[in-house]
Amino acid sequence: MGTLGGIKIKGIRYKPRNFGFYFNMVEGNYNGIKDNADVLIMGLGRIKRNTIVNSLYDLNKSYKYYNGSNLLKPGATASKIVNGVKGAGKLVKRLGPVGSFLTAGNIVNEIATDSWDAHTIIDGALLTTTAVVATVAAAPVVAAVAVGTVIYGAIDYVFDVGDKIDSLIGRESRFGKWLGSLF
């Protein structure tokens, strides 16, 4: 029991976690943030430069009406935005292999510690499919698989789809226990 400003409080016990917990946390956050950034960059990359210039021109016009001066130069600013999005896209593409290695390491860790579940199988299938398609398929097929994987990763990070899959068909679900009883 400790005190905080004269008020007695119960001490908070710190429960040490194993390496797998931290590895899983790093892998999930790294890939989730990278995938969400990739989706954002893909969306921004589809906006035409003229649309950006027109939007900035309208913004500038409104600003000038209220403040009497220009806020920015729409053409130059649009070029900076387009170039920034291209540069960010190149950076995210370079970060992709790190995420793949983290996912592979997480799968190995979950199998080694017998903590694997349905999400582990799905992550392994996506990782394997992406690797196989990237080595043998044509560019449009590789792009389609990569976009699908990125979108799944972003949705999983935001809505925690992996845990929902585990609760529906994982080892501890009714389906998983029934399936385990067959073998």
Q: In tens digits, what is the pLDDT along the chain, a chain of 183 residues?
A: 455 555 555 555 555 567 788 888 888 889 889 999 998 998 888 889 899 999 989 988 888 888 888 888 888 888 999 999 999 999 988 998 899 999 999 999 989 888 888 999 999 999 999 888 888 888 888 888 888 888 998 898 888 888 899 899 888 888 888 877 877
Classify the C-alpha dihedral 87-92-95-97 as positive or negative.
Answer: negative
Phi and psi, residue 167, nearest 5°: -70, -25
**DSSP-assigned letter for residue 131:** H
Among 85, 87, 92, CA closest to 30? 92
Residues in the chain: 183
Q: How far is CA 110 from CA 21, 116, 168, in A?
A: 10, 5, 19
- pLDDT for 174: 87
- pLDDT for 87: 92
- pLDDT for 114: 87
For residues 139-159, b (16+ Cβ closer than 10 Å) or e, as one string? eeeeeebbeebbebbbebbee
Element (H, E) at 35: helix 19-45
Q: What angle do CA 135, 141, 147 make, to 5 degrees?
A: 100
- pLDDT for 10: 57
